[in-house]
Structure 1
Amino acid sequence: DGVVHPAEREMLVRIARGLGLPESQIDQLEAMLRGAHGGQAGSQRSSAQQNDDAYKVLGVSPSISDAELKKVYRKLMSENHPDKLAGRGLPESMREMAEDRTQEITNAYDVIKESRARNA
């Protein structure tokens, strides 16, 4: 339904902890789900909204430097890579979710880079 209820969130936090993932990734996942169920096509959303969503997906502030942004991007990609998660015991059924997450991270990073290049 696009809404993460408190009981669902608590379950996600327990699963994340069991996999050794920080709770901040749950926040990022919630942002991703809100974007997926927001009822807005990507081309219809304003670039400002796309930028805001991209920063939320990466869990960073718009004031972050380019170097720090790249560092966070690489860290998130490493933490969420489907092959690495599979090595930590992630069930195969969750591999698609991990692949979606890495795609979301990459898309968010690309949106921010493109926005910064336009505004430079």
Structure 2
Amino acid sequence: MTIRVHHVSALPWRKIGDIPLGSMRDHIDPSEQEGYLAFHEPGDETTPQLMEMRLNPDTLVAPHAHADCEIFYVAQGSLHWEGHVLEAGGSMFIPAHFPYSFRTGSEGARLLNIRSRADHSFLPVVPTGT
């Protein structure tokens, strides 16, 4: 294995709405589909995954969970959820299978998402009838 360097100008940025999302598309807010993502490191079963997201102002990341733990680092902007605000320089740890949702602030957000291995799972939170 060798050291891999990823220059920002060479990252493969993709508009989220242009990615084949399958049934996941039914659970993603249209505002999130307007954002962009790039994998600095795709990861595999034994190596970490690092994804960067650039989300517009007031983007809603709808309730969902993942099979693995993850860390979000806010590089720019802010995230808002359940009365909390996480600003640039802050991070949050989300346990595996723990449902979460957030909205970006009025300036949008640039986020780094770190996972211990490649994880492309998406576990939507489906509202239950009352």
Question: Fold conserved (TM > 0.5)?
Answer: no
Structure in which a larger fraction of residues adopt strand: 2
**TM interval, short-chain normalised:** under 0.3
Structure in which a larger fraction of residues adopt helix: 1
Q: Normalization by structure 1: what TM-score? A: 0.27
